[in-house]
Amino acid sequence: MSQTPAPPTPAPVPAPAPVTGPVSLRGRTIVVTGANTGIGAAIAKLAGATGMNVVIDYVAHPELNQPLIDEIVAAGGQAIAVQADVTRVEHLQSLVDAAVDAYGRLDVWVNNAGVETRLSLLEDTEEKYDFVMDINMKGAYFGAQVAAKRFIAQGSRGVIVNVSSVHEDWPMPGNTAYCVAKGGLRMFAKNVGVELADHGIRVVNVAPGAISTPINKETEADPGKIKQLNESIPAGRIGQPSEVASVVLFVASDEASYMTATTVTVDGGITQGAAGL
């Protein structure tokens, strides 16, 4: 009996490079925290290419700002970079003020800044716990507050997007404070989405899986670890920042007008497979 050859395994679906985001965002103003690297930079670039006015928040590496602004301007957008530490409420307010001074209004606020320490409960210290919680959770909490107050003051609808993580509700042993902070963001979007609905303000979390950014540079630099990670992802590969940015802009747009108080996962299926790295 002749054997039918096994069909060839298709290569993983490649990441497309989105050219622009939803047209309903054109002319609107967006603030993105932690935006001169990784996912934040991808959101800033796509927002600029979509015709939004972009405020790039950063805390470190100012040398990264001008090339990013140049890229946004070359794509037909406009952007400014403003230094602000998301753990300081007065700095968050200065981002709102900068957006209003430069562009007259604020429409979309993205809490993207985040850090992880990869420590278990038994390894953690008070200082490192505070570092993770202050940036990931407190920064998003008061970022949403200053944005919502501005939306209400200008009498407009607005959208708050939190870049959370699959670790909103998927344990990552050895990264406990980070998971606790992202878990907090899950409830934050639900609670605040309900609180702010009467003002026409939407709150949506975007929860990425493993994405190729500086946060994962050690995993990506280790051929064994990245192979194991890619094999644990049903899509067959780590994600690209642009693949998160396109979802962030979609949920921020009028096309997502009925989405609030919820989380959208963008993970190549990783949470449905074996544990990642």
Q: Which residues bind ligand NAI (CB under 6 A)?
A: 33-34, 36-40, 57, 59-60, 85-87, 112-115, 135, 163, 165, 208, 210-211, 213-216
Neighbours of 193 (CB within 10 A): 19
- Rounded to a whole number of angstroms, the CA Rg of the chain reads 19
Marked catalytic residue, from 58, 103, 141, 178: 178
In angstroms, what is the minimal distance from the CB of 135 to ligand NAI? Answer: 5
SS3 269: coil
For the question of residue 178 being annotated catalytic, the response is: yes
In angstroms, what is the minimal distance from the CB of 271 to ligand NAI? Answer: 11
Beta carbon nearer to ligand NAI, 88 or 105: 88
* Contact by Cβ (8 Å): 217, 15: no
Binding site for ligand BGC (CB under 6 A): 116, 165-167, 172, 209-210, 215-216, 276
What gap in Å lies between CA 202 and CA 257, rounded to an integer?
A: 8
For residue 168, the one-letter residue type is E
Beta carbon nearer to ligand BGC, 143 or 209: 209
Pull the structure tokens for residue 157: 């609808």
Nearest residue to ligand BGC on Cβ basis: 165
Residue 87 touches which of ligand NAI, ligand BGC, none (CB < 5 to 8 A by kind)? ligand NAI
In angstroms, what is the minimal distance from the CB of 39 to ligand NAI? Answer: 4
Residue 34 touches which of ligand BGC, ligand NAI, none (CB < 5 to 8 A by kind)? ligand NAI
Beta carbon nearer to ligand NAI, 37 or 260: 37
What gap in Å lies between CA 80 and CA 224, rounded to an integer?
A: 40
For residue 47, the one-letter residue type is A
What gap in Å lies between CA 249 and CA 144, rounded to an integer?
A: 17
In angstroms, what is the minimal distance from the CB of 216 to ligand NAI? Answer: 5
Residue 276 touches which of ligand NAI, ligand BGC, none (CB < 5 to 8 A by kind)? ligand BGC
Q: Does residue 11 come out as left (phi exceeding 0), alpha (psi in the -120 to 50 range) or beta?
A: beta
- β-strands 108-111, 78-83 pairing: unpaired
For the annotated catalytic residues, the residue numbers are 178
